[in-house]
Structure 1
Amino acid sequence: MVCYYQKATHDVSSYFVSGRNLPWWLLGTSMVATTFAVDTPLAVSGLVISQGIAGNWYWWTGVFSGMLGMFLYSHLWRRPEIITDTQLVELRYSCKKAAFLRGFRAVYFSIVYNCIVMGWVNLAMAKILSETLSLPKLQATGLCFITTVIYTASAGLWGVVVTDFFQFAIAMFGAIIMAVIVVTKIGGMNVILSKLSEIYGVQRATDMTKLIPINSALLPFSFFLIYIGLQWWSTGNTDGGGYFAQRMLAAKNELHAKIGFLWGNIAHYILRSWPWVVCGLAAAVVYYKLDPESGKLVYAIGTKAGQVADPEVGLFV
């Protein structure tokens, strides 16, 4: 696959924006796959254990900026036919200082910002591989780095989005199958809810399953108000920039950019999170003797603990 798409990257446009030929379903899937790091299901399960389902409003509120970006900005990202979102700076501000701002933005996001993000993502991957494959963390990180560099450097954005598509399909299949296996082994969702009450008490169990944290001891309602009223519009990429914009810049046309961004939001906030929520509730039952921080490792330790996981579960870790 890398060799095939390497042939398609014959110039700058084909390398960075796939010749502006991405269909909506591929660019939208690539968007959600890009936000699907190895630490994401662990974080979601950990939030369910420590703050209840409502704790996920910490990132669910991003749907507001996502939909805003879809309706107002998605077609505009595609229209100027630029190569990167940073390039838009010089189009928006037509003066000499714009060139400096573009350069500063490029350095800040490519070196400072991305290094921080890649640091915690690589740490999560190293932890999981060290648990599941008994690899030293340095070797695990090096293996992931080499694999990723091969297809990104060789095939450009085409290689990235196609790989994203298959990785997302495999990851979602594994997450759904794992949720089904875990729930079945415990005895069903009714048993999980019943055991939550037995282990944590009725009040805490109720708070863990609340979608809106009204009178919740796990998540203050004021935090929920901050999430939905402040956080989503005051953070980066509210305009759909960054790696989202890179996919829209590569869309076939403005309509594909808009529909692709819509599909990315649907898959991101509706489709992918609920298997992790289910696994988080199951982890709260099975690993109740662990503290919430350790509970985040349910995907990794599930294959070793022997309490729920059969060998087939290891295929989906």
Structure 2
Amino acid sequence: MQLTTIDWAIILAVIAVAVGVGAAVARQAGKNASQFFLSGRSMSGVWLGISIVATTFAADTPGLVTEFVRQDGIAGNWRWWALLLTGMLTVFLYARLWRRSGVTTDLEFYELRYSGPPAAALRAFRAIYLGVVFNVIVMAIVSLAAIKIGQVMFGFTPIQVLLWGGLSTLLFSTTGGFRAVILTDCILFVVAIGGAVAAAYFAVNHPDVGGLANLLTHERVVGKLNLVPAWDWSNPDARESLLMVFIIPLSVQWWSMWYPSAEPGGGGYLAQRMLAAKNENHAVGAVMLFNAVHYAIRPWPWILVALASLVVFPTVTDLGIAFPDIAQDKLGNDLAYPAMLTFASEGWQGLIVASLLAAYMSTISTHLNWGSSYVVNDFYQRFIEPNASDRNLVRVGRVSTIIMMLLASLLALWLNTAEQGFTILLQVGAGTGLIYILRWYWWRINAYAEIVAMVISFAIALFFQWSPDLLSDSQQLCAGVLITTCCWMLTIMLTPAESRETLESFCRLIRPAGPGWAKVYRDAEQAGQPITGPGPGESLPLGILRMVLGCIGIYAALFAVGYALFGNTMVCITLGSVSLVAALLLLATYRRQPARSTPS
């Protein structure tokens, strides 16, 4: 790319706005840890929802989608489309409970739900495991995408990309804290969406592609347009693809695996947004807005670029020929996305580059703030310096932010492709998801079970990383889920339940629904200390019904947009009608709950 003056002006303006917002709110963010990590629990659901969308609009996501489409067609996206089930579960079952807990981080939850040394140990370990190790892996994957984009579009070295991108993000995330992250996310989201649409326009109108109609009829593209993979069980390769792309994601993956922004039961930076909301209704609205935009609207510009890349760069070899300076270990199908962006016309290149920079900055800033909140609240203050001043806590948060950025940059230099990172994250969390769902709805889950689940899943992931040819990818995932689940279920049988006092205290604060807590409510009533149960409209069956309706509505909207692009008006209208009916039925079942006063 040869950027013009106006291109550079757009790029520098985006950086200046982000850094300026951080400087503007730095004084307020530095008042105390609550302001730095949760913005005083005063955020609107709309702002928080857009922020989550911006965060998941990572620099690596378009490349990952491109890799899926080039390998398995549009249907390859079921690897992450299936996670909508997890998202809707969080909206209608967990969002209120998280906000009701009043904790500062989701790890603080452990010492509400569990008790004694096991709860403390679990909180401390996950503070480092998730806040540093897992978080650094995610940021490294995002940084890898930034490296490829910088190399393809500008010829930058990996060090140059990491230096400039990392410094820009650190400036506003370390000064302005969570409020700066949210405000800049909302600005960066508009830039990112605009750039994605512009990228799709120029990709589809590339001379070799010749417009949308020609793209959809091209011989290299026609076989990639199915929204559901072909069912060819007789072919071993096709069978493995069907398992990994469609069957396992919809039957196993969504409930059994921990993945950022799609954690079963909520968690991570998703929980951080819910905890920062004004009240329970804003927490629900934030997660619902995120899922609607994330799944129904945003994928299609990326998919169009991916399809067009099959015409211009049919193979990875073609990408290597077109960009000979790219290191061989960094060549992959995910490289096709930035490769297609080089064809944008002058004046638009700045917007596209700014959108990629915005995607990178919004994701990295969120992970830095979220990870440092674990280090500060769940490790440093809880176990090292319980009486630390607010100024000291903010200082530790800023230092840990810088350290995590450095670690992520080093790991990014080692990774090769976006799918490699995606697979590592899924395997590491395989088998842990169900316990994160059940701990809210079954009194028998204890801290020992979570510890065992986490240790076993991580050990299995390491084993398969060093023995990748022992089983196929689908067999590895299923084996990880099965072994981990059996181990933590056995642990529950062999270890004592949490104390009666802990369980009753949890129920008084959270008011969980479902038969899994009937014993606790009954015991408390028999002891003459009855516990107020869940409010009207919070029953478990009703929540599951709403989840199903939400999934139908968003999936129908997703496919309606796709068929509109394909020019199939009748199917588009039909699916649009299904989406509308599902939304109306959802509204009919949903009784708006009054905003309750929750701990701050």
Structure 2 length-normalised TM? 0.49
Match of 1:135 in 2: 156
Q: What are the Cα deviations for residues 122-164 of structure 1, in whole angstroms up to 9, with x where unaligned?
A: 1221221133233221121022222212211111110111111
Q: Residue 325 of structure 2 aligns with which residue?
A: none
The root-mean-square deviation of aligned C-alpha atoms, in Å, is 1.9
Q: Is 1:207–1:213's contact at 8 Å kept on the other side of the alignment?
A: no
- Which SS does the other structure have where 1:27 is aligned? helix
Q: Is the 8 A contact 2:66 2:337 kept in 1?
A: no
Tell me the residue number matched to 2:248.
226
Q: Could you say what secondary structure the match of 2:303 adopts?
A: helix
Kept in 2: contact 1:65–1:239 (CA 8 A): yes
Q: Which residue of 1 aligns with 2:224?
A: 208
- The aligned residue for residue 170 of structure 1 is 191
Moved more, 283-292 or 265-274: 283-292
SS at match of 1:296: helix
User: For residue 194 of structure 1, what is the aligned residue in structure 2?
Assistant: 217
Q: Is the 1:30–1:164 contact (alpha carbons within 8 Å) kept by the matching residues of 2?
A: yes
Task: Using the aligned pairs only, state the percent identity.
Answer: 38
For residue 254 of structure 1, what is the aligned residue in structure 2?
280
- Equivalent pair of 1:89/1:98 in contact (CA under 8 Å): yes
SS class of match (2:25): helix
Give the 3-state SS of the residue equivalent to 2:205 in structure 1: helix
User: What is the alpha-carbon distance in structure 1 between the residues aligned to residue 119 and residue 133 of structure 2?
Assistant: 20
Aligned residue in 2 for 1:48:
69
What is the CA–CA distance in structure 2 between the aligned matches of 1:208 and 1:124, rounded to whole Å?
Answer: 24
| 1:311 to 2:346 alignment | yes
| Cα pair 1:51 1:219 within 8 Å, conserved | no
- Which amino acid counterpart does residue 4 of structure 1 have in structure 2? A
Q: Pick one of 303, 312, 320 that aligns with 1:286.
A: 312
Of 254-263 and 283-292, deviating more is: 283-292
Alpha carbons 1:303, 1:310 under 8 Å: kept: no
The 1:266/1:219 distance shift into structure 2, 3 A limit, reads farther
SS in 2 for 1:297: helix
Residue in structure 1 matched with residue 93 of structure 2 by the alignment: 72
1:45 shift after superposition: 1.2
- Of 262, 266, 274, 1:240 maps to 266
Any conservation in 2 of the 1:45–1:296 contact (CA below 8 Å)? Answer: yes
My pick for the range that moved more, 255-264 or 161-170, is: 161-170
Q: Distance in 2 between matches of 1:289 and 1:15?
A: 46
Change (3 A) 1:92 1:289: closer
Per-residue CA deviation, residues 173-225 of structure 1 (Å, 9 max, x unaligned), is 11012212322343332200222x2xx3xxxx444111111236597433311
**1:131, 1:184 → 2: CA distance?**
20
CA distance in 1, matches of 2:250, 2:160: 41
Q: Does 1:264 align with 2:290?
A: yes
User: Cα 1:48–1:233, aligned 2, differ >3 Å: closer, same or farther?
Assistant: same
With over 3 angstroms needed to count, the CA separation of the structure-2 counterparts of 1:42 and 1:107, relative to structure 1, is same
Cα deviation code 1:31-72 (max 9, x no counterpart): 122122111101101211111000000011110000000100
Question: 2: distance between equivalents of 1:192 and 1:206?
Answer: 8
Residue 127 of structure 2 corresponds to 106
Q: Pick closer, same or farther for the CA change 1:218–1:314 going to 2, 3 Å.
A: farther
Q: Which stretch shows the higher mean deviation, 2-11 or 260-269?
A: 2-11
Moved over 6 A (4+): none
Answering whether residue 19 of structure 2 is matched by residue 8 of structure 1, we say no
Name stretches of at least 5 consecutive residues in structure 1 with no aligned partner: none
Judged with a 3 Å threshold, the aligned counterparts in structure 2 of structure 1 residues 192 and 233 are, in CA distance, closer, same or farther, namely same
- Of 189, 204, 217, the residue aligned with 1:183 is 204
| Structure having greater relative contact order (Cα 8 Å, sep ≥ 6) | 1
Contact 1:53 1:210 (8 Å CA) reproduced: yes
Q: Which runs of 5+ in 2 are unaligned?
A: 1-20, 233-237, 320-330, 354-600
Name which of 336, 340, 346 aligns with 1:302. 340
TM-score (norm: length of structure 1): 0.91
Letter in structure 1 aligned against 2:281: L
Deviations 1:206-253 (A, max 9, x none): 441111112365974333111101011111111110010001100011
Number of aligned residues: 307
SS in 2 for 1:285: helix
Structure 1 contact 287–295 (Cα < 8 Å) conserved: no
Q: Is the 8 A contact 2:22 2:177 kept in 1?
A: no
Conserved 8 A contact 1:46-1:296: yes
Is the contact made by 1:28 and 1:261 (CA closer than 8 Å) also made in structure 2?
Answer: yes
State the one-letter code of the partner of 2:338: A
Q: Which residue of 2 aligns with 1:86?
A: 107
CA contact (8 A) 1:182 1:282 kept: yes
Distance, in Å, in 2 between the alignment partners of 1:302 and 1:282 is 8
When Rg is computed on C-alpha atoms for both structures, the one with the higher figure is 2
Kindly tell me: are residues 310 and 218 of structure 1, through their superposed partners in 2, closer, same or farther at Cα, counting changes over 3 Å?
A: farther
